[in-house]
Structure 1
Amino acid sequence: MPPRVFALFLATLFSGAGAAQAAPAFDPGTLKGPAGRTPNEVMVLGTAHLAHLPPAFQPDSLRVLHERLRAWNPRIIAIEHLSGQQCATLRQYPQRYEDTVRAYCKWDPAPARATTGLDVPAATAEIDRLLAHWPEQPTAAQRRHLAAVFLAGGEPDSALVQWLRLEPAERKEGDGLDAGLVAALEKRAGGKGEDALIAAPLAAALGLERVYAMDDHTADAPDADPQAAGAAIGKAWNNPATAKLRAMDEQLHARLGDAAGVMAMYRSLNDPARARLLYDSDFGAALEEPSPQQFGRGYVTYWETRNLRMAANIREAIGMQPGLRTLVIVGASHKWYLEAYLNQMHDVRIVPTDQVLR
């Protein structure tokens, strides 16, 4: 090889290697501001999906967690649900999102549209208008009306916040709530998920008017061969890290009969040592699965995209009310991704969950 060509080859080789290993020239997470102003503190609480816990779990066992979260006093609460706006969009594309809508957009805003005359876009605009001029002491009629508008906008969790802020005697029909919507709110109040057991009652207890649905499923897409994809990724998940996580969770689930056991579960789910174990069990394993179709890489693409868009939704909610504390309640496997992505934001400070779980 001529010397000049060889030198060019070496330069290309080593410049490529250096580019792959070099730290980024610009790291936004190191540049925090604004100076001298109250920071945007964000705590990401990783949770089990409570409705899927074994029968030993009882909602009363959450009382210590509630007390700790109330004491931390977040003024914004974000939850792992899809917004009414996103569900309205997904419903327009059944070719891609039919399964997503069936799984994640279970609330039907049509009955509330019938009582309020508002479709999802109009209701969303009306929610913003009402809250921008919300009185310090709203009447029961105003709360019932806002609940109805939230339902029309596809935001049933925020409607539940308004419902819980009403005196029991005022939880009745009227102001846009008919008998069917009242029954739906009562049913939701007795739900077994994080929305009904943590987010909505916490928001009501703290005097908040709503919660923010920050999940995102626009990255969902049907697999070309679902059976083959499921088999390939399932095989990748069958690994020692998965076995270790399963054993840990079985031990924790055996203790869910009281508040001490529930707090032990939350401490485990939010332990930083769990992050790498979860990666090795799930996303890292999928990334390396050897199928010719590279199903695992597609799965990781979906996962990272979903978390990035969730982080963007949270960041938007924070920016509407700067200088407040935000609590994000999310499935534990999302926690570490959201913390990492949100920490890249100039105007976000991540608060460890140790403050409430220790």
Structure 2
Amino acid sequence: MAAMLCAAGASAQEPAKIFDPSKLKGPAKGSPSEVLVLGTPHLADLPATFQAASLQALHARLLAWKPRIIAIEERSGTQCAFMRQFPQRYAQSVQRYCWDPAPAQTATGLDVPAATAEIDRLLAAWPAVPAASQRRHLAAVFLAAGEPVSALVQWLRLANAERHAGNGLNATLVATLEKLHNGQGEDALIAAPLAAALGLERVYGMDDHTADAGSVPDTDMKAYGAAIMKAWENPASAEIRQTNKHLHARLADAEGVMALYRALNAPARAKLVYDSDFGAVLNEGSAQQFGRGYVAGWEVRNLRMASNIREVSGTVPGSRTLVIVGAAHKAYLEAYLNQMHDVRIVAPDQVLR
């Protein structure tokens, strides 16, 4: 009996053996499902020295990798439609992050659910060489579904002479597409042109803001903001600011842009970002423990983003999925996606070198 009790005590002190899905990759046969998570700056926030033409080297490398799926840091039309049903929780998030499909609904007669169903129907029978009228119609339906970047993909796949009103696109929607075309963010400058060049019909919004309502306190917002800002003032943040200053000074040419992307996607960057932001905030000392709610919201958002990516990558097994996302998300998404049995994470340096 004494021996049994000693054995039980020793066993209780041993660390639990946690099931690790990342060690069980499959299938045994067939091409692996590869995911490349490209951390990006938000291009619209870069200094004026940045020129869109300097993205040509990055574009060429991504084009050569030949992804069949492109996922972007945008909310899907269906998520925003869901969030609109709960204004008491998500009114601010909808206003800040969601595309307004109302003008396209007026033009097409389709609300988000109907437009989403129409997209599925059209793409299920999509011809190898669609007519320009079909692309204009699909662009209008994408706008009605709350999927503006996919609408832009269709617009870019049209010849210049075919970019006009008709087939569901009125003058208002044409102006909207031209405004999207001239956008300065990574969706307009990287994702949509790349999808069009690859012959893809759409991109996939994989961002998630359904955790917004629970991660920020309803009261004492001033104290919350002060606590988070104080935590951000640390040596790692200073190092990031100094590094970014040097990188941003080189953005006038393609090699400078590539240097920026290599730096943001370097393995060592992940721990620096953690020390600067989430690790620092997790340990901030407010009595209300504001930082723990902040980190919870961040983790939930990334987990839900990862599940959205996994969902779309599973639609074409054995294919390559490119995820274009703000650089702070990169390491979290890689870590979460690496837990999936049928996902192989591709190191960005293999593509960016």
**Fold in common (TM above 0.5):** yes
Matching residue's letter, 1:74: P
Q: Does 1:242 align with 2:237?
A: yes
Cα offset, 1:189, TM superposition: 0.2
Tell me the residue number matched to 1:58.
Answer: 51
Alignment counterpart, residue 339 of structure 1, candidates 327, 334, 341: 334
Tell me the residue number matched to 2:352.
Answer: 357
Distance 1:133 1:157 in 2: 21
Cα offset, 1:39, TM superposition: 1.1
Matching residue's letter, 2:224: A
Cα offset, 1:23, TM superposition: 4.6
Q: Does 1:32 align with 2:15?
A: no
* SS of residue paired to 1:320: coil
Tell me the residue number matched to 2:204.
Answer: 212
Tell me the residue number matched to 1:327.
Answer: 322
Distance 1:72 1:207 in 2: 14
Cα offset, 1:100, TM superposition: 0.7
Alignment counterpart, residue 181 of structure 2, candidates 162, 185, 189: 189
Distance 2:334 2:83 in 1: 27
Structure 2 residue ranges without an equivalent (≥5)? none
Tell me the residue number matched to 2:217.
Answer: 223
Tell me the residue number matched to 1:233.
Answer: 228
Structure 1 residue ranges without an equivalent (≥5)? none
Cα offset, 1:18, TM superposition: 4.2
Q: Does 1:257 align with 2:256?
A: no
Distance 2:108 2:314 in 1: 30
Distance 1:168 1:215 in 2: 31
Distance 1:260 1:345 in 2: 34
Matching residue's letter, 2:50: F
Cα offset, 1:108, TM superposition: 1.3
Distance 1:238 1:255 in 2: 26
Q: Does 1:162 align with 2:131?
A: no
Distance 1:219 1:108 in 2: 21
Distance 1:322 1:126 in 2: 24
- Structure 1 runs (4+) deviating above 6 angstroms are none
* SS of residue paired to 1:34: coil
Cα offset, 1:357, TM superposition: 1.0
Cα offset, 1:11, TM superposition: 4.6
Alignment counterpart, residue 281 of structure 1, candidates 246, 254, 276: 276
* SS of residue paired to 1:123: helix
Tell me the residue number matched to 1:172.
Answer: 164
Could you tell me the TM-score, scaled by structure 1's length? 0.94
Cα offset, 1:321, TM superposition: 1.3
Distance 1:311 1:126 in 2: 26
State the identity as a percent. 70
RMSD in angstroms over aligned alpha carbons? 1.6
* SS of residue paired to 2:212: coil
User: How many residues are treated as equivalent by the alignment?
Assistant: 346
